[in-house]
């Protein structure tokens, strides 16, 4: 594993009025390695949707390098090859100023699977200790996130 290349990871997601908050929280915890899942605490804010419906916004920041690297490693080993290829093909859309942005499927995460998606995701902002795209690409490749 690549040591100490990640500064932090911000993870956030919404629980809509039609969703069970506990199930959505479980989906987010499912993307973590089992030994860290219960150590992650999320803050929550109540927002109002377009039609006045309540939406809960959950977020956490992971600054512990061991947990951050384990999370990225867990995503890397469980993300299907087709998603890794898609990420590589569109990497320039996911990179910005030392950050890699990934969106994971909430419904699949609830089932214990890791898949990329675009709509209503679990959002990850992975902040690297470098802002050079080529270095980030190489770190991601060495961690197995990219083919």
pLDDT tens-place string over residues 71-82: 999 999 999 999
- 47 - beta bridge partners? 55
| Digit-coded pLDDT (tens) for 3-23 | 679 999 999 999 999 999 999
| Domain range list for the chain | 6-143
Average pLDDT taken over every residue of the chain: 94
Type and span of the H or E element at 8: strand 6-15
CA dihedral of residues 131, 132, 135, 136 (deg, nearest 10): 50
Under the banding of pLDDT at 50, 70 and 90, the label for residue 103 is: very high
Q: Which CATH superfamily is domain 6-143 in?
A: Ribosomal protein L5 (3.30.1440.10)
CA distance 33 to 39: 11
């Amino acid at each position: 594993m690549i040591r100490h290349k990640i500064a932090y990871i911000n993870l956030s997601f919404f629980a809509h009025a039609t969703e069970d908050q506990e199930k959505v929280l479980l989906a987010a915890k499912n993307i973590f390695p089992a030994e860290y899942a219960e150590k992650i605490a999320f803050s929550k804010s109540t927002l109002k949707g377009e039609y006045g419906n309540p939406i809960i916004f959950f977020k956490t920041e992971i600054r512990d390098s061991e947990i951050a690297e384990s999370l990225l490693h867990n995503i890397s080993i469980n993300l299907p090859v087709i998603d890794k290829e898609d990420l590589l093909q569109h990497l320039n859309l996911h990179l910005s100023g030392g950050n890699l942005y990934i969106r994971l499927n909430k419904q699949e995460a609830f089932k214990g699977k890791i898949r990329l998606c675009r709509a209503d995701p679990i959002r990850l902002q992975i902040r690297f200790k470098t802002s050079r795209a080529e270095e980030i690409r190489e770190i991601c490749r060495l961690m197995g996130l990219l083919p």
